[in-house]
Chains A and B, each alone.
Chain A
Amino acid sequence: MSSDDYVNIFPSQNREKSQNLNISPFLNYDSNFMRKTQPEFIFPEGATKNRGRFELAFSQIGSSVMIGGGVGSLVGLYNGLRVTSLLQQQGKLRQTQILNHVMKQGSATANSLGTLAVLYSVFGVLLQWTRGTDDNINTVVAGTTTGLLYKSTGGLRKTVVGGCLGLTISSLYVLFNLANKQPNFN
């Protein structure tokens, strides 16, 4: 008879052994089975521990659109002020011209930044699905392919330039994240 069996039969006499367990010593089983080695969490069905690319995609696209709209509007305001003062337009004409500049430049910048974000998100989600992981390689590859595709209708030279631009920006972003000790974030 080993000591463990002895514990099972007369559990209360071996109290120092079962002291740190939260189970009553009078239960008729080996309480070592119930020892918890790690905390357990309940996740909803099909969910993972942190959010993947698809969950983050919409907010990334939305913030790109909004940032593009804001920056484009500011640039349009500056351009409109400059152009109207150069042409010496006054009054209601100037007001309308500035408004036109702001709206056109703002929507154009918002649309192109948003399209870039959509392309990046689509590539990121596809890479995550095909590779099964979500890491920095996905970010760099998605950024590069986004640059390549976005400039792909403008000839080979522009395509390469766009791809290099995407590669540079995504690599800088990944390096920035690595330097701040945040690995594996989008």
Chain B
Amino acid sequence: MEEYSREPCPWRIVDDCGGAFAMGCIGGGVFQAIKGFRNAPSGMNRRFLGSLSAIKTRSPIIAGNFAVWGGMFSTIDCTLVHIRKKEDPWNSIISGAATGGILAARNGFGAMAGSAIIGGMLLALIEGVGILFTRLSADQFRNPLPPTEDPAALGDPSTSGSGPFGFGQPPQQYQ
């Protein structure tokens, strides 16, 4: 039901940007809390203070980087939807690669190519896992096979007598 829970295309950019920002903010907060705790001078109080200051200084930056990635990805995705007139996994993979490439544009051609390959492979993995889960979850909704009926049990229609209701069966005796 993914397609029904997502926003339609121009608004999806805002939604993805926000989702990426929230992910970066919370995940980066946890990451920086641990990192600041380990990096701080000894003493529990200092460690918690170091953790706090690391969260304050670093996690909004990580969140901002995530948001730029998400917004750029979604923009290219929507552009591809508009151009190709269809939504499929290739859109995500292409836009992942393009986002990786564009955002590394200041670092030279080699970095661009590396980021593009990493972005494309990451999105291909995500899409592949999504397709896999759809297959697995679709399997349990499959209808059970109807019981196969052996027509041989009905007997030969050409030889048996034809009663008033008999479709090839001999008239049964009920007494």
Q: Tell me whether B18 and A115 are in contact (CB under 8 A).
A: no
Q: In the complex, how many angstroms separate the beta carbon of B129 from the nearest chain A beta carbon?
A: 21
Q: Write out, one digit per residue, whether chain B residues 56-71 have a CB within 8 A of any chain A CB (1) or not (0).
A: 1001110110010001
A-B contact count (CB 8 A): 72
Contact among A59, A60, A63, A114 for B64, CB-based, below 8 A: A114
Chain B CB within 8 A of A39 CB:
no
Shortest CB–CB separation between residue A87 and chain B, in angstroms?
25
Residues on the A chain within 8 Å of B13, using CB: 62
Per DSSP, chain A at the interface is: helix
Which A-chain residue is minimally distant from B7 (CB atoms)? A59
Question: Interface of chain B, helix or strand or loop or mixed?
Answer: helix
Tell me how far the C-beta of B107 lies from the nearest C-beta in chain A, rounded to whole angstroms.
15
- Is the pair A63, B67 in contact by a Cβ cutoff of 8 Å? no
How does the 8 Å CB contact mask read for A14-34 relative to B, with 1 for contact and 0 for none? 000000000000000000000
A128 at the interface (CB under 8 A from B): no
A57/B64 in contact, CB under 8 A: no
Verify A111–B63 contact, CB threshold 8 A: yes
Question: Counting CB contacts under 8 A, is B153 at the interface?
Answer: no
Interface residue ranges of A82-114 to B (CB < 8 Å): 107, 110-112, 114
Q: Chain A residues in contact with chain B, CB under 8 A?
A: 44, 57-66, 107, 110-112, 114-115, 117-118, 121, 153
